[in-house]
Chain A
Amino acid sequence: MRIPYRPLAIGVVTLAFSALVLARAQAGDRHFFAPVADLIVKEECGSCHLAFAPSMLPARSWQRMMGELDKHFGDNASLDPATAEKITSYLVANAGDAGGQRYSSKLLKGVTPGAAPQRITELPKWVSEHRKVPDWEWRHKEVRTKANCVACHTAAEQGYYEE
């Protein structure tokens, strides 16, 4: 008789957690980052984690990352040269500093000119946007890592980070 209540309790805790984060995230400004539209990029860069919006990093960041895929944050994400080249072109063409994308350049505010930051989650602007997120939230089992945007921004796949 006791067993059936456990999954229920876990469900309630998870629900309460997302409601809490949702309520807080909704308080922020409207921020839209066009999601990856290219199918190859979605497949190759979206299977281990969310296919991060190209506008969240400057072009030189993507160029460097694509040249070091064999040492990709501890993983080997190597691709054949032709596929890698296609993906690089897409990321560079849609990068945060490519052609006046106003909202995206906001996330790049404070990045040293000429630098090629590799983590969105280490951009000064990203860090300041998340400074109020408490420690226990980052450690929550539904989150696991800062790079798991979808855990808190449920519409991240669609490019929306305000909810």
Chain B
Amino acid sequence: MKNILVVTSGIVAMILSSATFAGPREDLLTQYAAAAKVTSFSAARGQALHTQSSSGGKPDTPSCTTCHGKDTRSAGRALTGKTIEPVAVSVTPTRYTDPAKVEKWFKRNCTEVLGRECTPQEKGDWLTFVIGQ
């Protein structure tokens, strides 16, 4: 009886949280999916984007991991020495909840690393990757 109660309230809580506050992260993913004309994203492709080295951007920032670190659950460090909170949502739950902030940094950081902006597909994949981390 107790177990059933816990399970049901768990489910109710889940439904409530995803329905009432259609989370800003989910909204972003929906937008990216619409823009990319796809129905799902791939965490594996997001991880590849995160760890790959690119020669298209600035020489001192070849990869997302240059600043965000190799371990998504550990803090990263900007080139100026400033600590950057972990990108994994499990460790920094406040992440990717302000769409303007997310867009601003995608634009800055993709240009920095790849020498171009990220596509909606890449943004969706990357976001899916760190949400699952």
Chain A residues in the interface with B (C-beta under 8 A): 47-50, 74-77, 142-145, 147-148, 150-151
Min Cβ gap A123→B in Å is 18
Contact stretch, chosen from B7-15, B22-30, B32-40, B76-84: B76-84
Q: Tell which of A47, A143, A144 touches B79, judged by Cβ atoms closer than 8 Å.
A: A144
With CB as the reference atom, state the residue of chain B lying closest to A73.
B80
Q: Tell which of A75, A142, A144, A150 touches B112, judged by Cβ atoms closer than 8 Å.
A: A75
Indicate if B116 sits at the interface (CB-CB under 8 A): no
Chain B 49-86: CB-based contact to A (< 8 A → 1; otherwise 0): 00000000010000000000000000000111110100
Chain B, interface size category, equals: 10 to 19
**A–B Cβ pairs within 8 angstroms, 5 of them:** A76-B111, A142-B81, A144-B79, A147-B80, A147-B81
Chain B residues in the interface with A (C-beta under 8 A): 58, 78-82, 84, 108, 111-112
Q: Tell which of A47, A74, A143 touches B81, judged by Cβ atoms closer than 8 Å.
A: A143
- Dominant SS at the A interface? loop
- Dominant SS at the B interface? loop
Most B CB atoms within 10 A — which of A47, A143, A150?
A47
Instruction: Flag if A144 contacts B108 (CB, 8 Å).
Output: no
Instruction: Flag if A144 contacts B80 (CB, 8 Å).
Output: yes
Q: Tell which of B58, B82, B111 touches A49, judged by Cβ atoms closer than 8 Å.
A: B82
Instruction: Flag if B108 contacts A49 (CB, 8 Å).
Output: no
Instruction: Flag if A148 contacts B80 (CB, 8 Å).
Output: yes
With CB as the reference atom, state the residue of chain A lying closest to B85.
A47
Instruction: Flag if A76 contacts B80 (CB, 8 Å).
Output: no
In the assembly, what is the distance between CA of A143 and CA of B82, in Å?
Answer: 10
Instruction: Flag if B82 contacts A151 (CB, 8 Å).
Output: no
